[in-house]
């Protein structure tokens, strides 16, 4: 590739070859330095040897003028080049002013985000209260489609993860507990862990990763495409039409997923204990002796609350997405992170509540 060349003599910088974007890359900084070092006296930039002079070349000549600071004569340009340089000089922008740092900007941004979230939850409460009057906004087909995608299609993943988690928990706890002759109590440990904690918690994490992010991406895309604005201008609340069915579907499918996770986890645990030589009847007796319907129901109730939080956060992330393709990605990320954090916080809250209520 032919590139531009530069010759420097006192008071003169001679440029030759293609003064184009592809031709001037290597000499740009040298040329600007040469112009700067030429001092404040008159400088002549000779472009009579230029084979091409386009806007990038003209930008270089203006950079030489700026770098030199004094009078610069651009000589040797043809009529087209002279006109181009004149036009570029006319439109040359002033340097953009640096953005002044705003004191407390991050704190204000946090407050703004908190306000948006609060407004959204307020709008959701209003949508719920107004639901009887706005039943027409709900579409059964949407509800069924969302429930199928969030529930039925998540079943294989839930079964696989449940089985593996049950196996891992049983194996990891059986080895140390065997030292104390307590390895049969692994059944108690795993069953209680699954029913009370791991079942709903893991399903909520799966829901946040699969469904919460999907809600955010779907609604975020609708926001970017102005479909949400179209709904609003038609007088249809997006909260009622889009968020409530998603929340309802997530809450509806959650107990089924939690039960599936519990059963799959128990099967994984039983498989490990049977390999360790315990009969199924002994394992079954340990499970029924250590955990009752209250543990099981506790997990289901927690699961439903987690599902509501995950769905709500996913929908909020989508509906409050910004503009442009990046916004959809940010909304999906926010949905997953927010969903998992909210789940863990709610789980902590449940732990305290259940302890206080002595359940």
Footprint of other proteins on this chain (CB under 8 A)? 3, 20-22, 24-26, 28-29, 54-56, 58-60, 62-63, 80, 83-84, 87-88, 91-93, 96, 322-326
Report, in Å, the least distance between residue 22 CB and other proteins. Answer: 5
Q: In angstroms, what is the minimal distance from the CB of 330 to other proteins? A: 10
Residue 27 CB, nearest approach to other proteins (Å): 9
Min dist CB 319 to other proteins, Å, is 17
If the CB atoms of residues 60 and 202 are measured against other proteins, the closer one turns out to be: 60
Name the burial class of residue 8, with classes exposed (0-12), middle (13-18) and buried (19+) by CB atoms within 10 angstroms of its CB. Answer: middle
88 versus 236: smaller Cβ distance to other proteins: 88
Choose among 154, 167, 174: nearest CA to 267: 167
Closer to other proteins by CB, 217 or 300: give it: 217
Helix axes 155-178, 244-275, angle to 10 degrees: 40
CB of residue 331 vs other proteins: minimum separation in angstroms? 14
Q: Which is nearer to other proteins, 60 or 264 (CB)?
A: 60
Q: How far is the CB of 20 from other proteins (least distance, A)?
A: 6
Of 254, 256, 261, 252, the closest CA to residue 194 belongs to: 261
User: Reduced to 3 states, what is the DSSP secondary structure of residue 256?
Assistant: helix
For residue 92, what are its two tokens? 């040359």
Across the beta sheet with 72-75, the strand order is: 5-9, 12-19, 43-53, 72-75
What the block records as the tokens of 9 is 């003599």
Element (H, E) at 107: helix 105-129
Min separation Cβ 21 and other proteins, Å: 5
Q: What is the C-alpha to C-alpha distance for residues 207 and 296, in angstroms, rounded to an integer?
A: 20
Q: CB-wise, 36 or 139, nearer to other proteins?
A: 36
Residue with smaller CB distance to other proteins, 167 or 319: 319
Given the complex with other proteins, which of 312 and 331 has the nearer CB atom? Answer: 331
Q: Are 34 and 6 in contact (CB under 8 A)?
A: yes
Instruction: Tell me which residue of 259, 303, 320 sits closest to 115, measured CA to CA.
Output: 320
């Amino acid at each position: 590739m032919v590139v531009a060349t530069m010759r420097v003599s006192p008071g003169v910088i001679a440029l030759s070859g293609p003064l184009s974007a592809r031709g001037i890359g290597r000499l740009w900084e040298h040329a600007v330095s040469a112009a700067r070092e030429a001092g404040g006296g008159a400088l002549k930039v000779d472009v009579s040897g230029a084979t091409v002079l386009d806007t990038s070349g003209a930008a270089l000549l203006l950079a030489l003028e700026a770098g030199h600071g004094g009078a610069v004569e651009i000589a040797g340009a043809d009529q087209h080049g002279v006109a181009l340089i004149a036009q570029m000089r006319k439109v040359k922008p002033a340097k953009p002013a640096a953005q002044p740092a705003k004191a407390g900007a991050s704190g204000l941004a946090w407050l703004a985000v908190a306000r948006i979230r609060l407004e959204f939850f307020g709008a959701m409460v209003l949508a719920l209260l107004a639901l009887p009057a706005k039943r027409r906004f709900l579409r059964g087909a949407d509800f069924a489609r969302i429930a199928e995608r969030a529930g039925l299609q998540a079943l294989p993943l839930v079964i696989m993860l449940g089985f593996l988690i049950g196996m891992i928990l049983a194996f990891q706890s059986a080895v140390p507990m065997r030292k104390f002759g307590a390895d049969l109590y692994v059944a108690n440990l795993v069953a209680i862990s699954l029913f009370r904690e791991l079942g709903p918690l893991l399903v909520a994490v799966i829901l946040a990763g699969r469904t919460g992010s999907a809600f955010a991406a779907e609604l975020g895309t609708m926001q970017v495409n102005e479909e949400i604005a179209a709904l609003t201008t038609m007088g249809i609340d997006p909260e009622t039409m889009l968020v409530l069915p998603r929340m309802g579907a997530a809450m509806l499918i959650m107990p089924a997923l939690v039960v599936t996770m519990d059963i799959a986890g128990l099967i994984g645990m039983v498989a490990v204990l049977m390999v360790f030589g315990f009969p199924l009847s002994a394992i079954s007796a340990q499970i029924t002796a250590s955990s009752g319907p209250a543990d099981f129901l506790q997990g289901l109730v927690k699961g439903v609350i987690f599902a509501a939080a995950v769905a709500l956060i996913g929908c909020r992330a989508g509906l409050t997405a910004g503009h442009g393709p990046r916004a959809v990605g940010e909304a999906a990320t926010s949905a997953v992170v927010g969903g998992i954090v909210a789940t863990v916080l709610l789980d902590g809250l449940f732990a305290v509540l259940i302890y206080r209520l002595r359940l």
